[in-house]
Amino acid sequence: MRIKNVNDLKLIADQYNAELKKYEHTIYVCGGGGCISSKCQDTKNFVDSYIKEQGLSDKVNVIFTGCMGTCAMGPVVLVEPERIYYVHVTPERAKDIIDRQIIGGEVIEEYTFFDANLNKHIPCIDDIPFFAEQVQIVLNKCGKIPFDSIEAYIAKGGFTAVAKAFGMTQQQIIDEVTASGLRGRGGAGFPTGIKWSAGMKAQGDRKCIVCNADEGDPGAFMDRSAIEGDPFCLIEGMMIGGFAIGANNGYVYCRAEYPVAVERFNKALDIAREWGMLGENILGSGFNFDIELRIGAGAFVCGEETALMNSIQGERGEPRQKPPFPFESGLFGCPTIINNVETYYNIAEIINRGADWFAQYGVGKSKGTKVFALAGDVINTGIVEVPMGMSLRKLIFEIGGGITDGMKFKAAQMGGPSGGCITEKNLDTSVDYESLTALGAIMGSGGLIVMGENTCMVDTARFFMQFIQDESCGKCTPCRIGTKRMLEILERITQGKGTLEDLDTLEELSYTIKDTAMCGLGQTAPNPVLSTLANFRDEYEAHIVGKTCPAHICSALAKYYIDPEKCKGCTLCARNCPVQCISGKVKEPHVIDQNKCIKCGACMTNCKFGAVIKK
């Protein structure tokens, strides 16, 4: 059908909700990116066919959703109405769940979420701290509805915000967004209302509204999860923005590395057009709006807004000089507003529930929530949404479940290659724009990489610098050559060939790059180095002066020894050593010749007795 007005929306919602009520049980199978990797499609297919086989199709509704959040535990499944949350649900486990819970009424506790802190299984999702501590505005439908159903989206209140917005003036919408205190979630935190206001006031025959979905920070997958799980919400957010600034053309720039997001969003665009929620005279408002999905070619720099626009225009993804800012002269020279994916996901709720409701969450100048992708040495790897102002400690240790393998916490990298690391002493810092900036880190787009004690901070800095060097667009000298020279110095240090003067050179180059690079990516490129230098200078010095890597990560500095107590003389290490530097008789402890060892680690990998030690 085609939706012609607000009443149609209500009709669709009522019909859909009535349909849901027919079922006794609903099985939500997570179809988020993490679960796809752990073969949730097999689980979904099994559940579908097994439910049919058991003749339960009238009683059990099976829904394939977007990301539920606990990506490390996929495939995950939620069973309603009991709200039991099962993890690692293979088809075999799924059969048990249907047999024993759906049919038998029994909760299979050992398949449910295990909380490492509490050291026990927690069957009901509402009791799990990972979920209980979250406030979901952006992700309020993600993981809860089928991602490809516009009816389900509407049934959850979808498109009511745009309907409401059509009854407001452009200024009223912008005032509401401004009053909410919403700031750009891409990282820099520029107030969205002010940006939109500039967009509205800009003069132009044609204006554009763009969504930056080129999420490129290593370890960040918030935007991908949101688009994969709830694509219609992005359409609604952009449509409201388009209406507010007077743009009829929307562009979503999504990276090619997100095939699932691209596929689902394209499908959502088709559905929305088919139902009349994109195109001409939407909801009878007289407003025309459509969105085009543009796919990037995998350049990190295209996440920078001006490079992104160049890329959409078919040019090399290189930043442009600002000013002129995009709102003055952006895409194809038109006044353009660019916002991050997450920013748009907040819009519908702000319009629906009002600025005051939104602003109740958060602290100071940082209102609302922030979605984080927890990654690294953290137990609950996945997607979480928390109110601004939560402490990092709570985020990592309560929601994130703490550090893996019982390790000690060392640092958290926020803001990806543009950000900095936060150490133990600052763990109680409130997660908000101002507090993080004060620490030399940034909020960033939400990538949060947790590092345990066996992380080498010099190697981490080297990793980020390698990333920047690979991804620098090559336009300006400091970023193109400066980061290369910094990378070479970091490589030298991790190989034990650095000097203390190198540290001064690193700082000098860092300050010049920050001060002179053309775009934000270049200007922030030295941050990981500066922040690790500030917090872990002793580690740098250990590499340089002591020629050791305290975390035993830098292979050139590592030394492999065989513990004579543990060695059984099985000769496996000697036989696998590519340079024949291990000697010893059968059934007698072996010895590694340190002069010949190339530190490949083959001995350690092959030893069955844990006798090879890396120091």
Partner 1 sequence: MSKVNITINGKPYEAEAGKTILEVARENNIYIPTLCYLEGVNQYGGCRLCMVEVETNGRPMRNLQAACMIKISDGMSIKTNTERVRKARKVNLELLLSCHPKDCLNCNRSLDCELQTLARRMNITERRFEGESKDIPLDISAVMTRDMSKCVNCRRCVAMCNNIQKIGVLNAQKRGFKTIIQPSFGKHIADTDCTNCGQCISVCPVGALRETDAIAPVIAAIEDPKKYVIAQIAPAVRVGIGEPFGMPSGTVATGKMVAALRQLNFDEVFDVNFGADLTIMEEGTEFLQRAKAALTGGEAVLPMMTSCSPGWIKFIEHRYPELLPNLSSCKSPHMMQGAVTKTYYAEKLGKDPKDIYLVSIMPCTAKKFEIIRPEMNENGVRDVDAVLTTRELANMIKQAGIDFVNLPDEDFDPVMGLSTGAADIFGVTGGVMEAALRTVYELVTGREIPSDNLHVHPLGDSDQIKVASLTFENVLPEYKFLEGFTARVAVTSGFDGAAQVMEMVKAGENFQFIEVMGCPGGCIVGGGQPRGVRSEKWAARKAGIYSIDEGKKLRKSHENPDIIKLYKEFLGEPCGHKSHELLHTHYTARGKYNELIGKK
493 binds partner 1 (CB under 8 A): no
Q: If we measure between CA atoms, which residue out of 552, 455, 458 comes closest to residue 498?
A: 458
Q: Least Å distance between CB 329 and partner 1?
A: 13
Q: Least Å distance between CB 513 and partner 1?
A: 9
Q: Which pair of tokens denotes residue 101?
A: 């819970």
477 binds partner 1 (CB under 8 A): yes
| Residue number with CB closer to partner 1 (299 or 309) | 299
Question: Is 595 exposed, middle or buried, given 0-12, 13-18 or 19+ CB atoms closer than 10 A?
Answer: exposed
Q: Least Å distance between CB 430 and partner 1?
A: 24
Q: Least Å distance between CB 533 and partner 1?
A: 18
Phi first, then psi, for residue 458 (nearest 5°) are -70, -40
Round to whole Å and give the CA distance between 102 and 222.
32
| Residue number with CB closer to partner 1 (385 or 502) | 502
Q: Least Å distance between CB 499 and partner 1?
A: 12
| Contact string (CB under 8 A) for partner 1, positions 456-475, x = contact | ------------xxxxxxxx
508 binds partner 1 (CB under 8 A): yes
In the list 98, 518, 529, 582, the residue contacting partner 1 (rule: CB under 8 A) is: 518
# residues near partner 1 by CB under 8 A? 34
Q: Least Å distance between CB 422 and partner 1?
A: 23
| Residue number with CB closer to partner 1 (170 or 516) | 516
195 binds partner 1 (CB under 8 A): no
Q: Least Å distance between CB 482 and partner 1?
A: 5
Other beta carbons less than 10 A from residue 587's beta carbon? 10
Q: Which residues contact 353 (CB under 8 A, 6 or more apart)?
A: none
Q: Which pair of tokens denotes residue 21?
A: 């009520």
Q: Least Å distance between CB 540 and partner 1?
A: 19
| Residue number with CB closer to partner 1 (486 or 573) | 486
Q: Are 108 and 86 in contact (CB under 8 A)?
A: yes
Segment interacting with partner 1, rule: CB under 8 A, options 4-12, 64-72, 450-458, 503-511: 503-511
Q: If we measure between CA atoms, which residue out of 100, 189, 182, 98 comes closest to residue 137?
A: 182
Q: Which residues contact 14 (CB under 8 A, 6 or more apart)?
A: none
514 binds partner 1 (CB under 8 A): yes
Sequential DSSP letters for 438-470: HTT---TTSEEEEEETT--HHHHHHHHHHHHHH
Three-state SS letters, 239-257: HHHHHHHCCCEEEEEECCC
Bridge partners of 22, per DSSP, are: none
| Residue number with CB closer to partner 1 (107 or 476) | 476
| Residue number with CB closer to partner 1 (155 or 442) | 442
Q: Are 576 and 604 in contact (CB under 8 A)?
A: no
Q: Least Å distance between CB 313 and partner 1?
A: 14
485 binds partner 1 (CB under 8 A): yes
505 binds partner 1 (CB under 8 A): yes
Element (H, E) at 274: helix 259-274
Q: Least Å distance between CB 534 and partner 1?
A: 20
299 binds partner 1 (CB under 8 A): yes
| Residue number with CB closer to partner 1 (515 or 565) | 515
Q: Are 228 and 349 in contact (CB under 8 A)?
A: no
Q: Which sign, positive or negative, has the C-alpha torsion 240, 244, 247, 248?
A: positive
Detail the DSSP E strand segments found in 388-504: 409-414, 420-423, 447-452
Element (H, E) at 26: strand 25-30
CA 202 to chain CA centroid, Å, is: 33
| Residue number with CB closer to partner 1 (316 or 614) | 316
Cis, peptide link before residue 319, omega less than 30° from 0? no
Q: Are 396 and 408 in contact (CB under 8 A)?
A: no
14 binds partner 1 (CB under 8 A): no
Round to whole Å and give the CA distance between 34 and 266.
20
Q: Least Å distance between CB 187 and partner 1?
A: 16
Q: Which pair of tokens denotes residue 267?
A: 């499908």
266 binds partner 1 (CB under 8 A): no
Q: Least Å distance between CB 324 and partner 1?
A: 9
| Residue number with CB closer to partner 1 (14 or 470) | 470
Q: Which residues contact 25 (CB under 8 A, 6 or more apart)?
A: 59, 60, 61, 79, 80, 81, 102
482 binds partner 1 (CB under 8 A): yes
| Contact string (CB under 8 A) for partner 1, positions 311-350, x = contact | -----x-x--x-x---------------------------
In the list 126, 205, 405, 515, the residue contacting partner 1 (rule: CB under 8 A) is: 515
Cis, peptide link before residue 526, omega less than 30° from 0? no
434 binds partner 1 (CB under 8 A): no
In the list 139, 509, 549, 582, the residue contacting partner 1 (rule: CB under 8 A) is: 509
| Residue number with CB closer to partner 1 (438 or 579) | 438
Round to whole Å and give the CA distance between 440 and 531.
7
Q: Least Å distance between CB 538 and partner 1?
A: 26
Q: Least Å distance between CB 90 and partner 1?
A: 41
In the list 516, 548, 555, 576, the residue contacting partner 1 (rule: CB under 8 A) is: 516
Round to whole Å and give the CA distance between 324 and 308.
15
In the list 199, 382, 478, 550, the residue contacting partner 1 (rule: CB under 8 A) is: 478
Amino acid at 396: I
Positions that interact with partner 1 (CB under 8 A): 299, 301, 316, 318, 321, 323, 468-478, 480-485, 488, 505, 508-509, 512, 514-518, 523
